[in-house]
Each structure stands twice: as structure tokens, then as C-alpha cells.
Structure 1
Amino acid sequence: MTNPSQTPRPAKTPARSSARNDLDRIEATGNPWWAQAPSVAMTCLTVTVIPLKLLALAADTAVSVCFLAVFGSVGLWYIGYIPDQTVAEVLGSVGQRLLGILEGTGLL
């Protein structure tokens, strides 16, 4: 067994100044702070645009549901699940509303 007092100790390195430590840390990053500016700008733009994307997604979903409702109703009427009398009443009321709007604007 070796005596612990006989094992060689590593040589002490001189204390480095704080300024040199900061310089080493900055050099270790590999690029200056302004090199990240395009990435930061793109991230800010993405965060700003997210609400608009969500609004567009909600509007797209609403249009899809309306499309499905209209063509689903036409399909159910064609198959016979919705009687002709009900379709005539609904279309008549829609026609009356459109006629009222046109008369109110003075086009007719």
C-alpha cells in the first residue's frame, strides 16, 4: 500500500482574473449575441401570429361545419328524411327575408 503523503499532488494553477473568466465564457459561446437576432425576431413574429392562426383555424372549422350542414340537409331531403313541405316552408321564409332586404335597400 502506498503512503498518501507520497502521492504527487497536482500543481496549483494561478488564480485567473474575473475579466479573463468572462472573456473565456464569451469565447466559448462561439458567436456574438447579435448573431441570434434573426432567430429571436422570428420567434417574436411566430408568437405574435399565433392568435391569427387560431382565429383562421376557428373560421375554417365554422365554414366546414356550415358546408357539412347544408349538404347534409340536401342529402337528407333527397333521401326522403326531410319532407318536401318542410323544405318549402324554410325556403319560403328565406326568400321572404331576402326580398325584404332587397326592398329595404331600394334595389327593387
Structure 2
Amino acid sequence: MTTNSQTPRPAKTPPRSSARNDLDRIEATGSPWWAQAPSVAMACLTVAVTPFKLLALVADTAVSLCFLAVFGTVGLWYIGYIPDQTVAEVLGSVGQRLLGILEGTGLL
């Protein structure tokens, strides 16, 4: 036969405040909050500088591709894939543009 005897329940502890829970959590880390300030500042700086790093990477890639195109063109001309007449026409038009710019500024 089972009896429904009620066993005494332990007294309820009052709920702990959120501030006390935060304080316990901070004490458990072993370091004060301000010890993390340099790493947080560095993370913020990294986030702020990232767009400039990406812009620098794009500009570096563009310059590298320009050098590759120029040296590739010179190499193809040297090997003979680009005829001398084509090179003379392109360099002549570039020279005319440069002379026009210099005359427009009054340097010549």
C-alpha cells in the first residue's frame, strides 16, 4: 500500500538578481572587463579598415594587370605576332595626344 505522505520540500531560495548573475559571471572569468578593451578596440579598427584593404587589393590587381598587358604586348611585338606598322600607328597616335596635352598646357 502506498501512502501519499507529503515529504517536506526544501525552502525555495529567492531568485537571484540579474546584476548578481552578471557579477558572478565576471568573477568567474578571472579578469576585469577593461582587460578586454584592447582586443575589442583592435576588432573595431579591423572592421573599419577592411574596406580600405579591399580597395587597395583591387588597385594592386589593376596595376598588376596593366603591367602584364604592357609587357605581354611588348613580348608579342618582339616575337613578331604584332607587326611593326601597327606598333608605329599606335605609338604615333599616343605621341600626338601627348604633344596636344603639352601644347594645351603651354609647356611647349
> Superposition RMSD on alpha carbons, in Å?
1.9
Does residue 70 (structure 1) correspond to residue 83 (structure 2)? The answer is: no
How many aligned positions are there?
Answer: 97
TM-score for the superposition, normalised by structure 1: 0.81
String of CA shifts for 1:59-84, please: whole Å, max 9, x gaps: 00000000000000000000000000
My pick for the range that moved more, 24-33 or 74-83, is: 24-33
Unmatched tracts of structure 1, length 5 or more:
1-11
String of CA shifts for 1:32-90, please: whole Å, max 9, x gaps: 11111101100000000000000000000000000000000000000000000000000
Measured in 2, the distance between the counterparts of 1:41 and 1:90 equals 53
Identity %: 84
Runs of 4+ in 1 over 2 A off after TM superposition: 12-17, 19-26
Does residue 79 (structure 1) correspond to residue 72 (structure 2)? The answer is: no
* Matched letter for residue 15 of structure 1: T
Unmatched tracts of structure 2, length 5 or more:
1-9
Measured in 2, the distance between the counterparts of 1:102 and 1:21 equals 75
